[in-house]
Structure 1
Amino acid sequence: MIATFDVIDIRKDFPILNQTIHGKPLVYFDNAATTQKPLSVIEALSQYYMEFNANIHRGIHTLAEKATAEYEATRDKAKAFINAAQREEIVFTRGTTEGINLVAQTYGRQNLKAGDEVIISGMEHHSNIVPWQMICEEKGATLRVIPINEQGDLLLDEYEKLLSEKTKIVAVVYVSNSLGTINPVKEIITKAHQYGAKVLIDGAQASAHLDIDVQDLDADFYVFSSHKVYGPTGVGVLYGKRELLDAMPPYQGGGEMIREVSFGKTTYNDLPYKFEAGTPNIADTVAFKAALDYVTTIGKSVIGEYEHELLTYATESLQSIDGLQIIGQAKEKISVISYVLEGIHHQDIGIMLDNDGIAVRTGHHCTQPLMDRFCILGTSRASFAMYNTKEEIDRLVQGLHKIKKKLG
């Protein structure tokens, strides 16, 4: 961990930030959608293709062995990053969405039956709603939803009322991508386990901001994506307790996930390869390790402290704008602010901010039921990362004042 945090030095590691958009210096506030990549990640990706591009696990030549070693080194790094007990509990996927679908279509299909119940929350991303809807419809199970209050906090009393012997799976987001709310997932897991239910945690937004310890949480499954943690797109991690993964059937069939194949019968490979059919996304997985190394070297606590400064500063600054309402003001938040500006459509805000070189996200953020809860069509969302500055927040505020003067 570094002793001090210097955002100017940090910004030097991210070459994409050194550009202008519409003649204005880029301000990138769309980090909840995807983070930018440090030079070490870009170089790791380039190095793979220039020096040891080869298919993994199957070759005995030097390049194949080098590629395999680097690929598996990322698995070990991911294991340490979330404190899994064993490397076999780390399954590589294309991202959080595939990880959730894998669990729903294997563990869910294997264990749910008519009359069972699955609990999710009212702030879930569509990727943690639709897979459970699909498997519940197939199995005749019922989907239950934990409600939230006006501040954007889960109503835990209502959650406890939903739990019963019928509850087989609880799948909740650790941190809301729309509101920034940090949910008390350890408490949620403990209560679910009292009824024998298994718990999946969507860690897509949490993993870049919070220290993750799946053993301390006692999570049964935990999923996250590389590209939210300063790594490449197209790579993700599914953690599962070994006894659960061992009992689950394969998700896809093909090469690598097999031990022996005949026309009469196929036997499957050991963990984690049982769930990794075909040639994987080798290059991006190798570069993912560089991203995890980068975050670990700086230190989550250092990053989190700085991002909390940005969140506090931005919240106070945005609340000074007449007619602006922040949607989601939970006591525990990461550096995400969603807001609406009275009388002005969120898409118009996004377009006009882009003209000033400021990138924000607009719309429902793949959380349409959450937008319905607040009776809005969508929001503008500014999400901050370690390379953002208070001066950039000042530019956002100035841009919103200009938009309000023109359209309000």
Structure 2
Amino acid sequence: MTATARVGARWMTLFTLAWLAIWTVQLTPVQLLLPLQLNTSDDDWIRGVVSSGFVLGIGGLFGIIAAPFVGAISDRSRSSRGRRRPWALAGVWLAAVFLVLTGLAGGPWLVGACWVGVSIGISVASAAFTALIADQLPPAQRGAASSAVGSSQAVGIVLGVGLVVLLGLGVLAGYLLLAVVIAVIGTLTALLLPDPPAAASELPQRAANRGRLASLRDRDFAWMLWGRLVANIGNALGTALFLFFLLHGLDQHEAQAQDNLLLLIVVYTVFVVIASVLTGILSDRTGRRRGLTVAATFVQAASGVAIVILPTFEMTMIAAALMGLGYGAFSTVGLAFATDLLPDEQDHARDLGIVNVTAALGQLIGPMVGAGLVALVGGFWLVFLMAAVLSVLGGLMTALARSPEPVPAPR
């Protein structure tokens, strides 16, 4: 049953904090710690890029299995502690433990194995928290909640990378800090956010003619998923290898590259937050989400084209702003659009777990694909070109998903 009662500022604040912790611990290693951990000498730098892409890709593979599987179990939970809370707690603590182990690991194989544990934990927690949007929010507040998810992604990168760089933390200390962040904030928000036990009428009742993943056969839901996955791969291609690009594409030394990476992330974040807030409000007021989602992918694509045309640090700054605008709007309105398209009200967590995994998987597949492209041409121009192509392709796929009737916010 679709929620009708509006939630207050306390709910939104706790929800935002949960996502801030999730994104901080997921993206800080992707952007900074894993590349530093796996970077090799200047004479063999491509091997470091390939190792980083491999580690992130393997983690993504396990994440795509964990989130919908756990989501489906939580949809059917009768626990007096709630449907989502136990899984949120399990996910944040699993991530915390494996963040510590990743920091202690050495060599790409052991680092990759530990990162799998982090990815599974983050996917499980993300599925649980994302399901709360459909469980507890009316359609007119879903854009605002999705804006919190999108804005937290950008702020989380700045928070994590900023703390590591400005405090001068090493790789291990950085991982330990992230483990504390997800354990403390994730636990508190999971305990404080409401999660009432499900009534019997809310538990999934599988019809005889429906398969276990019948939602994937829903035409509009499937096109939205494919568009979300492809556009997120485009975003990851354009952002995940920034440190390697600064080091080996623009020939900056390590200290300068780390400082400039933080600067790029700040620029990216400012525009992600601006786009997330404005488009989240706009989509709630109009109820028309598909057009905004598609338009955002074309803005995102412009960033890759800009760097291909003029690969300088100054142009990279402009590209970071364009990527922030495009991805901020896409991640915010796209998640609200996905929530509107859910085909089965009784399988919210499972289906939103799949939605969430397409975003996370795109962010983890991107570096792996990017590493292959760098190895293929011995440089970065093809990475940014493909980032633009995939962004546009993701938008065109999203356009094939028919919008539900708009549900504007009450005046």
- After TM superposition, the score normalised by the length of structure 2 is 0.26
- After TM superposition, the score normalised by the length of structure 1 is 0.26
* Structure (1 or 2) with the greater strand fraction: 1
* Structure (1 or 2) with the greater helix fraction: 2
Q: Which has the larger radius of gyration?
A: 1
Select the structure with the greater relative contact order (CA < 8 A; seq sep ≥ 6). 2
